[in-house]
């Protein structure tokens, strides 16, 4: 009887071990790439939610602070940068893009999460959306409050980002941004508010949401991205300089001429309304275009600004480009990538309509 019991117990233990091994193999493998930002920030006291130092907490401590992610996926972290995102450069974008692309090629990586400061998060997400040729989930996440603050949002945002990156339903939707329980397209989303947790908005709406570690989807992107993109990080060594100049009442051509003189190969005009250009500025932009500088009309209007070609200005006549629905900062990203492939304004315009 004792031998039978011992044998049965041994079989049970072996079965449990096998089940655990199978379960471990079926769990998604997610890599968290940390770059700094508020999500890695710390304030002087719990009452400091808007006054703090960004980029202080390393990735291992971020992961250790959310043990629940272990139920979603097998997670490991890498510290790529430790900076506030307003200090991101084009070189930073390229280095991050190469690391994301390299990880995406690995069989033991099912999804990638990038922790990022919110100030330029939308630009990084859009850049990766254009240059990383993978259908694996790539999720960019940040927070509006440091982890030391009352009602800090970073831990739940990171948990939701891992949930999204580990979900096969997230595949093929391009680079995603997860904030405040919502899943956004990296192409569309922008920081619309600077001190509240619902800071990120998409003019055409979120793609879905995350509730208690489960994703719920309502729409999918239609613009070209990732595996369908003509841009590939492996072919990009550097990005040409692209400047942004802001339109306003009493505008002059000083900023445009200064940016071109400093080496800008394209200028994003963050115009009023429908990308309008004041009469005082038009001659300078025409002159700069004749010198080979690309002129791209965007709009300073947030939350759904949309620039129509040949409205307000005769773009065909002037050989100018319109940014379609991309805001100035995202237009800068696409313009820089476009100029790695062409100097033909008609081809640049095609990129803006398709991406």
> pLDDT per residue over 326-353, tens digit each?
999 999 999 999 999 999 999 999 999 9
- Asked if pLDDT for residue 20 goes beyond 50, the answer is no
Residue 88 pLDDT: 97
Residue 4 pLDDT: 52
9 band by pLDDT with thresholds 50, 70 and 90? very low
- Asked if pLDDT for residue 258 goes beyond 50, the answer is yes
Residue 240 pLDDT: 98
Taking Cα atoms as reference points, which of 305, 326, 24 lies closest to residue 186?
Answer: 326
> pLDDT tens digits, residue range 201-242?
999 999 999 999 999 999 999 999 999 999 999 999 999 999
3-state helix, strand, coil in the chain (%, to 5): 35, 20, 45
Q: How far apart are CA 233 and CA 113, in angstroms?
A: 18
* Tokens encoding 142: 């940040």
Taking Cα atoms as reference points, which of 242, 145, 241, 232 lies closest to residue 193?
Answer: 145
25 band by pLDDT with thresholds 50, 70 and 90? low
Strands 111-115 and 182-185: unpaired
Domains, the chain, in order of start with CATH, read 26-228 (3.40.50.1170), 241-354 (3.40.50.40)
- In order of 68, 144, 255, the CA distances from 52 in angstroms are 26, 11, 33
Positions annotated as catalytic residues are: 38, 118
Residue 5 pLDDT: 45
276 DSSP 8-state letter: B
- In order of 305, 323, 334, the CA distances from 328 in angstroms are 10, 8, 10
Residues of each annotated binding site: 85, 118-119
Residue 209 pLDDT: 98
Token pair 């992610």 in the structure block, residue: 69
Residue 7 pLDDT: 57
> pLDDT tens digits, residue range 27-70?
999 999 999 999 999 988 888 988 888 888 999 999 999 999 99
Residue 51 pLDDT: 85
> pLDDT tens digits, residue range 122-157?
999 999 999 999 999 999 999 999 999 999 999 999
> pLDDT tens digits, residue range 266-289?
999 999 999 999 999 999 999 999
> pLDDT tens digits, residue range 80-122?
999 999 999 999 999 999 999 999 999 999 999 999 999 999 9
Residues of each annotated binding site for substrate: 85, 118-119
* Mean pLDDT (whole number) for 282-305: 95
| 3-class secondary structure, 177 | strand
- Asked if pLDDT for residue 12 goes beyond 90, the answer is no
> pLDDT tens digits, residue range 158-217?
999 999 999 999 999 999 999 999 999 999 999 999 999 999 999 999 999 999 999 999
Token pair 């095609």 in the structure block, residue: 350
* Tokens encoding 15: 């079965």
Residue 13 pLDDT: 45
């Amino acid at each position: 009887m004792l031998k039978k019991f011992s044998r049965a117990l041994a079989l049970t233990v072996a079965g449990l071990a096998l089940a655990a091994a199978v379960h471990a193999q079926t769990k998604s493998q997610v890599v968290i790439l940390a770059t700094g930002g508020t999500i890695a920030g710390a304030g002087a006291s719990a009452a400091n939610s808007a006054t703090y130092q960004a980029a202080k907490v390393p990735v291992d401590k971020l992961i250790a602070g959310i043990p629940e992610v272990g139920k979603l996926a097998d997670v490991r972290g890498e510290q790529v940068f430790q900076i506030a995102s307003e200090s991101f450069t084009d070189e930073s974008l390229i280095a991050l893009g190469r690391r994301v692309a390299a990880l995406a090629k690995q069989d033991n990586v099912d999804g990638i999460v990038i922790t990022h400061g919110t100030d330029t998060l939308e630009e990084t997400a859009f850049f990766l959306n254009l240059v990383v040729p993978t259908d694996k989930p790539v999720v960019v996440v940040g927070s509006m409050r440091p982890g030391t603050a009352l009602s800090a949002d970073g831990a739940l945002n990171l948990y939701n980002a891992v949930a999204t990156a580990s979900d096969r339903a997230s595949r093929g939707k391009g680079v995603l941004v997860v904030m405040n329980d919502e899943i956004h397209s990296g192409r569309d989303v922008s920081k619309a508010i600077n001190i509240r947790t619902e800071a990120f908005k998409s003019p055409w709406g979120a793609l879905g949401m995350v509730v208690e570690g489960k994703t719920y989807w309502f729409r999918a992107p239609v613009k070209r991205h990732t595996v369908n993109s003509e841009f590939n990080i492996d072919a990009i060594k550097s990005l040409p300089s692209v400047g942004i100049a802001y339109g306003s009442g009493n505008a002059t051509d000083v900023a445009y001429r200064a940016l071109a003189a400093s080496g800008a190969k394209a200028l994003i005009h963050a115009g009023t309304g429908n990308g309008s250009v004041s009469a005082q500025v038009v001659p300078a932009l025409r002159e700069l275009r004749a010198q080979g500088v690309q002129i791209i009309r965007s709009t300073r209007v947030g939350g759904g600004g949309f620039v129509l070609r040949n409205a307000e200005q005769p773009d065909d006549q002037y050989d100018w480009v319109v940014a379609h629905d991309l805001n100035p900062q995202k237009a800068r990203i696409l313009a820089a990538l476009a100029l790695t492939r062409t100097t033909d304004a008609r081809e640049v315009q095609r990129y803006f309509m398709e991406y």
